[in-house]
Structure 1
Amino acid sequence: MQNLRPFQPPFMGIYHPFPIIQFGGSILLKGFSMGEVILVDAWLHQAEEALQAQNWAEALEALQQAQQVQPDHPAILSILGVCFLQLGMAKEARETLETLVKSQPASAEAYNNLGVALLMDGALEEAQAAFEQAIALDHENLLARKHLALIFLQTGDYTHAAQILDALLLELPDEVELRLWLGQCYTKLGNPQAARRLYTEILRNYPDHPQTRDALRSLDKMPTSSPPAPQKPQSLPPIPKQILFCGSGEVSDFRMYLPARWLRKAGANTTYVLNPSPHDLSGADIVIFLRPHIRRENMQALAECVRQGKTIIVDIDDDFHNLPVHHPGYYLCGPGNPNILRALELAIGAASVLVVSTPILGERYAPLARRVQVIPNGWDDENPNWEKPAPPHTGIHLGWAGTSTHWEDLHFIRNELLYFLRHHPEVTLVIGGDPQILEMFRSLPERQRWFLPFCAHAEYPLLLAQFDILLAPLANTRFNQAKSDIKLVEAGARRLPWVASPLPAYCAWESGGIFAETPSSWADAISTLIQDPALRQQLGTVGHKKSEERNREVIGLWKTLLETL
């Protein structure tokens, strides 16, 4: 390591072994005369009073008197080291704390304080070793991890500094200094956009923070020309030995277990888990988290991956920052729970890649991410239920499936549906999922409304088999504009024609149905499909072909992404 000037840390965290009264008396001085015990106890009382008043010189004098009686006692050495550090006496602190760690080799606090003394004395290489030993003894040692990050900053190892600071921010999201230092790393690593995001977050809470304003001014002075595009490698490296997909315990987990299965068939060593264990993490080269902020266990696992320097991918399929207030998740994982959203932002910032289900979602979260990759939704083509024949029934079944989260979307066309159904008694409305949704249509005769309860994801194709036409209305909200095309993908998998709202992901899919732009146009679109069985079959076939292409697309995107990491 190069010989640098003595380090003057902008942050110095020292473990203070207070109170010290507990170290006095016969416990401390077993084997000494009563007179020596009383004398040392008095010096320790005097030292504690001085420490509480932050009178370090007076405390030092008292402790040195006590040390003459028992020179190698760990408690006295530890407090002496603190006093020397507070007084800027680096050499004395170093000598004292080096003696301490010899007698207390399992003390992470002692190694941290020794590291600070070595920093003050300009011994960066020895200081780094001390902080690394403190972390080895106590992996959650926040002070030692901060100090190690600062050493990497000082020596220009911005990649390792950023890894440590990313992990610390997941645990200490309100620490301004961590964001400031991480911003410095991003700037040096050629990612001023990420640095600007961190500085903006600081100024949102501390508008007059001087160091942050200085950092932003420095960014403004940087050249704005884009760096040259990286050259595409001639050949891609093989897929890593172990890829770990971590689910969130929700329906959307198919975004994890399907690519895990497909990639395993392509030759990769993949595993899908819900609660990653330390053993799972230790063997993984790349760890992929779906909606990590939903589960505390996954956020903890993500922080551990950052500490271990793992390659992390975060996958999201909804715009959590724009969940509508009536959405059941608004107070759980949306704007009604700022701490959860902050956890999501930190997870995205810690990831090498953010994978999203739609381009609009990617555009919205790009300011938080280092790199964004759009990978749309696929479907389980190995599930035999997709090909099971539909049960026989009379008339036409208009089908809608979902949860109460889509109440507003179905309500968007409720009046038009009611009007249509009253004039077409041969048509039945089938509601799958939420019985409360069926209540919106309780004015219909019972023969025209039918409810199918929630089912396991593997049985969902059987629910769709009860439909002749899928209804996929979406109100034109900011949240819905970023939603995926999964309903139309699954309709194609079932060869089911659809009528849908022309929102972005649906328009991009396009195949297999008819768009209804306004509430009044829904009745016309439904009538067109009801009156033309051949058109329904044709659209179902076209949608099915598109759905088969989708799975090949998803596999290729995942494989390419993982090969380039």
Structure 2
Amino acid sequence: MRITLVSDADLVNSNYRGYQPLMVLSRRGHDITFTRLGEPRYRASTLLQSDVVHIHRYTDPELLQIVAQLRDAGIGVVWDNDDDLTAVPRSNPNYRKFGGPANRARIQAALRRTVTAADVVTTPSELLAAQYRAAGADDVRLLENYLPPEFGRVKPAKHDGVTLVWLAGLEHQVDYQRLRLKETLVRLLDAHADLRVLSIGLGLGLPSDRYEHIRQVDFLELAKGMSAGDIGLAPLADIPWNQARSNIKLKEYAAAGLPWLASPVGPYLGLGEKQGGELVPDDAWHDVIDRLIVDVRRRRKLAKNAAKWAKGQSIEDHAHLWDSAFRDAAQRAKRRAL
């Protein structure tokens, strides 16, 4: 089957929602074309040679014109999104582009047009799946984010002391502020002389020589970059934007051999000790982290559970779900064209 991906390579999400699953399908014999940022996104001559076109996030008028051509030509369209672009908070770097009532109305209208034009809609979020069904999408599939094979080859790195790791994009500034985590982390660093804090992505501004900030890590190096940690942090403020997230951050920590602590919000609800971590109420972050820092036995037990969970969360083991979505979209398009 000939599948063409249309995505933005600058979005880390596009790895999980397109590039990595299609790399697995390519190794299984599918003919894959990657059309990503920096190239002509909508070269009709390329897209019209496909059996299926897989689109991550784009909803602009130019795209919808192409989708109409694809439908007329009997080519399947799979559209995917993994963020609630109607609920972007003010602290988000993309607020000017997506936030506010005027943008919300525009985005909602574009989403309705897009999901009703697609043969299959995919998302890792139950909340977004419900939104797309309500908007008129015929076939919406909940497909979680899964781990690339490179993450499964990482082994925990030996090190002294205890290291807290927070892998966080800039949009997590709202979580850092609302949950008062700077105050919490400063208190913990003061109380534990062997404690270190590492943040990847978001800078935390901690006044300590035992705090390290790494601005960016290549996607396939994420698990390796966290492998010298001991505890992964996944705090989320209880706001609409966070309700539509995926649970991939916990899987990333688990692949790196880290037990995790997360907020009982959105995608993390229902996860816990079996998956290698604990859910932490908003007012308990200091106490729960403090307890896990000193409880080596508990950390080891959770790390063992996390590693076991991560082994079952590989893209390769779940690529058949994407394959099914693409095949069904192609078959639906062919029936429509008859």
TM-score range, shorter chain: 0.7 to 0.9
SS class of match (2:30): coil
Distance 2:30 2:120 in 1: 19
For the structure 1 residues 310 and 461, does the alpha-carbon distance in structure 2 shift closer, same or farther, using more than 3 Å as the test?
A: same
Does 2:299 correspond to 1:533?
Answer: no
**2:174 aligns with one of 397, 402, 408:** 408
1:359 matched residue in structure 2: 126
Q: Offset of 1:303 from its aligned partner?
A: 4.4
**1:281 aligns with one of 22, 47, 55:** 47
Does 2:325 correspond to 1:561?
Answer: yes
Distance 2:49 2:99 in 1: 33
1:316 matched residue in structure 2: 81
Distance 2:235 2:150 in 1: 28
SS class of match (1:438): coil
For the structure 1 residues 296 and 448, does the alpha-carbon distance in structure 2 shift closer, same or farther, using more than 3 Å as the test?
A: farther
For the structure 1 residues 546 and 423, does the alpha-carbon distance in structure 2 shift closer, same or farther, using more than 3 Å as the test?
A: same
Matched residue type, 1:538: K
**1:480 aligns with one of 231, 242, 252:** 242
For the structure 1 residues 559 and 508, does the alpha-carbon distance in structure 2 shift closer, same or farther, using more than 3 Å as the test?
A: farther
**2:150 aligns with one of 382, 385, 388:** 382
Whether contact under 8 Å (1:323, 1:334) holds in the other structure is yes
Does 2:263 correspond to 1:501?
Answer: yes
**1:514 aligns with one of 278, 282, 302:** 278
1:252 matched residue in structure 2: 13
2:333 matched residue in structure 1: none
Matched residue type, 2:306: G
SS class of match (2:214): strand
Whether contact under 8 Å (1:413, 1:473) holds in the other structure is no
Whether contact under 8 Å (1:425, 1:448) holds in the other structure is no
Structure 1 or 2: larger strand share? 2
Distance 2:270 2:32 in 1: 30
SS class of match (2:312): helix
Structure 1 or 2: larger helix share? 1
Whether contact under 8 Å (2:156, 2:257) holds in the other structure is no
CA deviation string 1:133-172 (max 9, x = no partner): xxxxxxxxxxxxxxxxxxxxxxxxxxxxxxxxxxxxxxxx
Matched residue type, 2:138: R
Whether contact under 8 Å (1:452, 1:463) holds in the other structure is no
Q: Offset of 1:377 from its aligned partner?
A: 0.2
Distance 2:261 2:222 in 1: 19
Runs of at least 5 residues in structure 1 that lack an aligned partner in the other structure: 1-240
Higher relative CO (Cα under 8 Å, sequence separation at least 6) belongs to 2
Whether contact under 8 Å (2:156, 2:228) holds in the other structure is no
Matched residue type, 1:324: P
**1:438 aligns with one of 198, 204, 207:** 204
Of 373-382 and 536-545, more deviation after overlay is shown by 536-545
Alignment of 1:61-72 (within 5 A): none
CA deviation string 1:239-269 (max 9, x = no partner): xx21222222311111201111222233433
Distance 1:350 1:557 in 2: 21
1:490 matched residue in structure 2: 252
Runs of at least 5 residues in structure 2 that lack an aligned partner in the other structure: 330-338
Q: Offset of 1:487 from its aligned partner?
A: 0.5
Q: Offset of 1:378 from its aligned partner?
A: 0.9
SS class of match (1:283): coil
2:332 matched residue in structure 1: none
Whether contact under 8 Å (1:290, 1:315) holds in the other structure is yes
For the structure 1 residues 554 and 301, does the alpha-carbon distance in structure 2 shift closer, same or farther, using more than 3 Å as the test?
A: farther
Whether contact under 8 Å (1:375, 1:554) holds in the other structure is no
Whether contact under 8 Å (1:256, 1:272) holds in the other structure is no
Whether contact under 8 Å (2:150, 2:220) holds in the other structure is no
SS class of match (1:550): coil
SS class of match (1:454): coil
1:397 matched residue in structure 2: 163
Does 2:54 correspond to 1:291?
Answer: no
Does 2:217 correspond to 1:455?
Answer: yes
Whether contact under 8 Å (2:261, 2:280) holds in the other structure is yes
Q: Offset of 1:408 from its aligned partner?
A: 1.2
CA deviation string 1:373-415 (max 9, x = no partner): 000001211358x51552x543211111222211011221423
Alignment of 1:414-429 (within 5 A): 414=181, 415-429=183-197
Distance 1:427 1:297 in 2: 52
For the structure 1 residues 301 and 376, does the alpha-carbon distance in structure 2 shift closer, same or farther, using more than 3 Å as the test?
A: same
CA deviation string 1:497-549 (max 9, x = no partner): 11110123112443111111132x22232133222333323322322222222
Whether contact under 8 Å (2:200, 2:217) holds in the other structure is no
Of 509-518 and 530-539, more deviation after overlay is shown by 530-539
Q: Offset of 1:276 from its aligned partner?
A: 4.6
Matched residue type, 1:327: N
For the structure 1 residues 389 and 417, does the alpha-carbon distance in structure 2 shift closer, same or farther, using more than 3 Å as the test?
A: closer
**TM-score with structure 2 setting the length:** 0.84
SS class of match (1:313): strand
CA deviation string 1:207-240 (max 9, x = no partner): xxxxxxxxxxxxxxxxxxxxxxxxxxxxxxxxxx
Structure number, greater radius of gyration: 1
